Structure 1
Amino acid sequence: MDVRITEWLHEKNPGLDGPIDTDEDLIEARLIDSMDFLEFIDLLEELSGTSIDLQDVTIDDFRTLGRVRERFLSTTG
């Protein structure tokens, strides 16, 4: 997992201690909220080198670090 994603999540959630499990629900845990969502997408676009068309994704594509990696950061995604 790109360390910049976890760094960003820790920056947005200063009370968060320790690692974030790849299966933790980022939305249910309120690690990503609606105010930060577009910034998170910008970060993923920067890391992946591709544009994310919001018409082609669902909220579940952003739910866990594992899914984010699979959907946006893998070469087969």
Structure 2
Amino acid sequence: MERIAAWLHEKNPGLDGPIDADEDLIEARLIDSMDFLEFIDLLEELSGDSIDLQDVTIDDFRTLGRVQERFLSAAR
């Protein structure tokens, strides 16, 4: 999750402090449509798996907690 948080801070230089696991990344505009594919690439790199966009919904990317659960948990 540290790499994801670092990426989000890089994309949002005005962002101070940690990002709460339940913060809505989309509503807070921490991820926008221009960065979304890059975010997916990062998740694929970190998980070692490709993400089929037909198998996910926007809610799978909404919070760090959901991203962890959906893409980075060992029980996938």
- How high is the TM-score relative to the length of structure 2? 0.98
Q: Give the aligned residue type for 2:64.
A: L
1:75 aligned counterpart, secondary structure: coil
Structure-2 residue corresponding to 1:19:
18
Percent of aligned positions that are identical: 87
Q: Structure 2: how far apart are the matches of 1:5 and 1:58?
A: 19
2:29 aligned counterpart, secondary structure: coil
Using the TM superposition, give the Cα deviation of residue 26 of structure 1 relative to its aligned residue in structure 2, in angstroms.
Answer: 0.1
C-alpha RMSD over aligned residues = 0.5
Once the two structures are superposed, the pairs formed by residues 1-77 of structure 1 within 5 Å of their partners are 2-77=1-76
- How high is the TM-score relative to the length of structure 1? 0.97
Q: Structure 2: how far apart are the matches of 1:14 and 1:62?
A: 20
2:66 aligned counterpart, secondary structure: helix
Q: Give the aligned residue type for 1:20.
A: I
Q: Unaligned stretches of 5+ in structure 1?
A: none
Q: Give the aligned residue type for 2:69.
A: E
